[in-house]
């Protein structure tokens, strides 16, 4: 297990001697231009048509396991909400699935901040984090992302990983942290799913991934489309509908 190192003002990964990663505006929603190229016969949600011409259908997320334990921890479990901006991982309450071993993980902060920020990824088989990212650089209000592929981090299939984001006003008194965490698991697509997705548009992929329980792929696909079509109110309405389905906080629903 690689131990983390922290340097003020920059992000440092303690895995594979990776380069620093700036979590700023460039790291916000849509930064990751990943396109998995998938398809199925569902209403197209491409964002390329005027909203008035698109169908009213919105992605319906189907949890992969009914009755799965609740694992998401919302902000404020440690710190008092209100003293710092609200921070939240964008995940279901249960473990969310990813069809790729290097997913993009999204999180939200309710206000501009310069407070120390930490991201950590651990699995149930270890005590120390697999990786931790630390920065004291300014971070803007809104939705941000961390792309594990950028850092060379690869998840193993069948293992549930906990990931967390934290605002740390005083590194010497961690009880004042504002923390949010969730879980991600890499579940490769079945041959049937992969074949169905082979020739779909990026818009069609949203509904496909959602119905098959792949939360992280669903949100990443939708985020990419919003980045490409930032003025499309229909796509943003889709995002709000999707976030409501996993009971995200009202502040996240209203994210710009």
Query: Is 203 or 93 the better-scoring residue by pLDDT?
Result: 93
What does the domain layout of the chain look like in residue ranges?
A: 25-251
Q: Please tell me the distance from the alpha carbon of residue 220 to that of residue 34, in angstroms, as a whole number.
A: 8
Q: What is the pLDDT of residues 154-189, one digit of tens each?
A: 999 999 999 999 998 888 887 888 899 999 999 999
What average pLDDT does this structure show over 24-42? 33
Q: Please tell me the distance from the alpha carbon of residue 85 to that of residue 178, in angstroms, as a whole number.
A: 9
pLDDT(12) > 70 = no
Choose which CATH entry (2.60.120.700, 2.60.40.1220, 2.130.10.30, 2.40.30.60) describes domain 25-251.
Answer: 2.60.40.1220
Residues of 180-205 as b/e, b for ≥16 C-beta within 10 angstroms? bbbbbbbbebeeebeebbeebbbbbb
Q: Please tell me the distance from the alpha carbon of residue 50 to that of residue 25, in angstroms, as a whole number.
A: 27
Q: Which distant-in-sequence residues (6+ apart) come within 8 Å of 220 by Cβ?
A: 32, 34, 103, 104, 106
Q: Please tell me the distance from the alpha carbon of residue 122 to that of residue 49, in angstroms, as a whole number.
A: 41
Do the beta carbons of residue 218 and residue 61 sit within 8 Å?
yes
pLDDT(191) > 70 = yes
DSSP string, 21-43: ---SGGGBTT----------SS-
pTM of the model: 0.74
Write down the pLDDT at residue 17.
32
Write down the pLDDT at residue 66.
66
């Amino acid at each position: 297990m690689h131990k983390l190192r922290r340097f003020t003002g920059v992000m440092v990964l303690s895995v594979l001697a990776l380069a620093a990663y700036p979590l700023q505006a460039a790291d916000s929603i849509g930064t990751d231009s990943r396109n998995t190229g998938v398809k199925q016969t569902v209403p197209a949600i491409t964002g390329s048509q005027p909203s008035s011409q698109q169908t009213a259908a919105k992605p319906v997320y189907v949890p992969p396991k009914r009755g799965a334990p609740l694992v998401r921890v919302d902000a404020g479990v440690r710190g008092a909400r209100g003293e710092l901006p609200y921070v939240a991982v964008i995940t279901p309450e249960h473990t969310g699935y990813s069809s790729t071993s290097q997913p993009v993980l999204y999180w939200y902060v309710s206000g501009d901040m310069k407070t120390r920020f930490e991201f950590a990824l651990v699995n149930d088989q270890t005590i120390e984090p697999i990786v931790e990212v630390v920065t004291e650089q300014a971070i803007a209000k809104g939705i941000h992302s961390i792309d594990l592929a950028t850092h060379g981090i690869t998840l193993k299939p069948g293992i549930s990983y906990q990931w967390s984001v934290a605002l740390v006003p005083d590194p010497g008194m961690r009880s004042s942290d504002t923390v949010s965490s969730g879980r991600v698991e890499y579940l490769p697509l079945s041959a049937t799913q992969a074949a169905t997705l082979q020739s779909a548009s990026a818009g069609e992929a949203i509904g496909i991934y959602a119905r098959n329980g792949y939360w992280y792929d669903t949100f990443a696909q939708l985020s990419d489309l919003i980045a490409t079509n930032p003025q499309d109110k229909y796509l943003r309405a889709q995002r709000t509908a999707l976030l409501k389905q996993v009971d995200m906080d009202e502040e996240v629903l209203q994210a710009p």
